[in-house]
Amino acid sequence: MQLNPAQLGDASTNNTIAKLIEQSLTPHIYWSAHSSGNCISTEWRVLPFMVLLSVREGEYRCVLDNTEKRELRAGAGSTLLIPAGLCHRLIVDQATVADGLHIHFTLFHNLDVFSFYELPVIITADKSAGIATCVNELTACLADCEQTFSISRIALKRSASFRLFYEIIMVSHPVVDTEFRFLQLNRILPALKVIESNLDGGVKVEALATACGLSRNAFSRLFKQITGASPLRFVNRKRLELAMSKLVYGDLPISEIARSVGFCDQFHFSKTFRAETGESPSQYRDSIRMSLPHKI
């Protein structure tokens, strides 16, 4: 949908918002594998970051937990791209070799950039060359960074990350009103900041609305229009995403993780976590770690 300048705001305001977006866009890499032949099939799982697998040899198969549950195939030269929060299962043949990433691109206060886009799960070989080049370069750089410290390697990592972001955007489709939603982000930035700072405690919608200078109803409508979720749904999702990361990449007891993401007790946390992922926190920790040959 194309919006006219009157709908988007004046050029000065748009430029200011564009600069804020440019400054806040941040890649987060949680796991990588370069030219790995240790490709592992998984059970059903939900991850708080994007899974990206660039297949060099063999084949990955992916089943999504949707109504069709059909098997999608990514052969040599293709890329498998699974958005954050999408329940899926991977099946892989023994002879498969791939470059892999768990990566997350955020704006401002941990807002998933790709929540504004429809991403293809399978990118065919004829459209995947740019992504494959970036993934190869980035995973190779990360493997080298594990061994030695180098400013040039840090610069290469950042450069490859942003080029990968560009390549993914170019094969994706913006959801309805994406441009308008981006340009309205500044109106809810105070609320996003409050949410990020208070994931370990109570977050009241009234307080978020006050931070943005809006009534509760007006704020709730605007927040859902921009993010696609109600304020409370957004907060709960961010808490669970943070909990997923802590379960996989840390060793804190589950009771401490529950408290750190704002749950009053472990029972309530486990019940909510299972409803979202299909597994208890301890099951989730074990199953996801089993599917990761190594961590960065």
Residue-wise pLDDT for 200-240, tens only, equals 888 899 999 999 999 999 999 999 999 999 999 999 999 99
Nearest to 35 by CA among 59, 57, 13: 57
Query: What is the average pLDDT value for the chain, to the nearest integer?
Result: 89
Tokens at 190, concatenated:
């105070």
pLDDT, residue 69, reads 77
Q: What is the pLDDT of residues 79-125, one digit of tens each?
A: 999 999 999 999 998 889 999 999 999 998 789 999 999 999 999 99
Class of domain 178-290 as given by CATH = mainly alpha
Q: Please, which pLDDT band fits residue 12 given cuts at 50, 70 and 90?
A: confident
Predicted local distance difference test score (pLDDT) of residue 278:
87
- Give residue 7's pLDDT: 45
> Any idea which residue has 């080298």 for tokens?
144
Amino acid at 22: E
Residue 2's pLDDT band (cuts 50, 70, 90): very low
Q: Given a cut of 60, is residue 296 above it in pLDDT?
A: no
**Amino acid letter at 219?**
F
**Least confident window among 28-32, 149-153, 165-169, 204-208:** 149-153
Domain spans in the chain, listed from the N-terminal domain onward: 24-174, 178-290
pLDDT band (50, 70, 90) for residue 295: very low
Residue 146's pLDDT is 66
Q: Quick one: tokens of 135?
A: 């993934």
pLDDT greater than 50 at residue 73: yes
Range of lowest pLDDT (5-19, 254-268, 280-294): 5-19
Structure confidence at residue 9 (pLDDT): 57
pTM score, whole prediction: 0.87
Architecture (CATH level 2) of domain 24-174:
Sandwich (2.60)
Mean pLDDT for 3-17 is 63
Question: How many other CB atoms sit within 10 Å of the CB of residue 204?
Answer: 14
- Band of pLDDT at residue 144, cut at 50, 70 and 90: confident
pLDDT, position 207:
95
Query: Is the separation of the CB atoms in 65 and 44 below 8 Å?
Result: yes
Q: Residue 31 pLDDT > 70, yes or no?
A: yes
Q: What is the dihedral of CA 49, 254, 272, 268, to 10 degrees?
A: -160
